[in-house]
Amino acid sequence: MSGLAGWRKILDFLICSVYNVDAMAKLKNGYVYIWDIRRKRHNYEHRLVMEVFLGRPLTNLEAVHHINGIKDDNRIGNLLLMTRSEQTAIHRRKYNVCLIMDCRRKHHAKGLCNTHYMANLRLKGA
């Protein structure tokens, strides 16, 4: 087992074991939605992945952004924790700088500079 399929199995196991998940579904908007038995409500998988990574629940002021724009790619390396206002700025294209840490080049698409955006496209094609 390798690649995205392998990651998906590991991620599903982690989420299910930590959060005692009962059911998962992919919504029409592209996000993976999970029924969390412990909290007795639905939650987005990317938020649960970030909570597992941080070891604490997220606050209402925190948002989790998908760097590559693929809403069901919930690998921790593709997720970025930020405030809701920062995420709103990105989605409104006011945030004009690449999201990759220490890269200060002008934003091109999906929150990335041209170099990182093209590298991401090459990775998806491989």
- Residue 12 placed within a domain: yes
Whether residue 63 lies inside any domain: the answer is yes
3-state secondary structure 26-95: ECCCCCEEEEECCCCEEEEHHHHHHHHHHCCCCCCCEEEEECCCCCCCCCHHHEEEEEHHHHHHHHCCCC
Decide if 114 is inside a domain.
no
Query: Does residue 106 form part of some domain?
Result: no
Domain count, the chain: 1
Among 54, 77, 52, 55, CA closest to 66:
77
CA atoms of 18 and 38, how far apart (whole Å): 10
Tell me the residue range of the domain where 32 lies: 3-95
- What CATH number has the domain bearing residue 47? 3.90.75
Contact predicate 44/72, CB 8 Å: no
Q: Is 103 domain-assigned?
A: no
In a domain, 123, yes or no: no
pLDDT score recorded for residue 125: 66
Q: Is residue 14 included in any domain, yes or no?
A: yes
Please check whether residue 105 lies inside any domain of the structure.
no
Mean pLDDT in consecutive groups of 10 residues from the start of the chain, 126 residues:
54 56 69 77 86 89 89 88 82 64 70 80 70
pLDDT at 64: 93
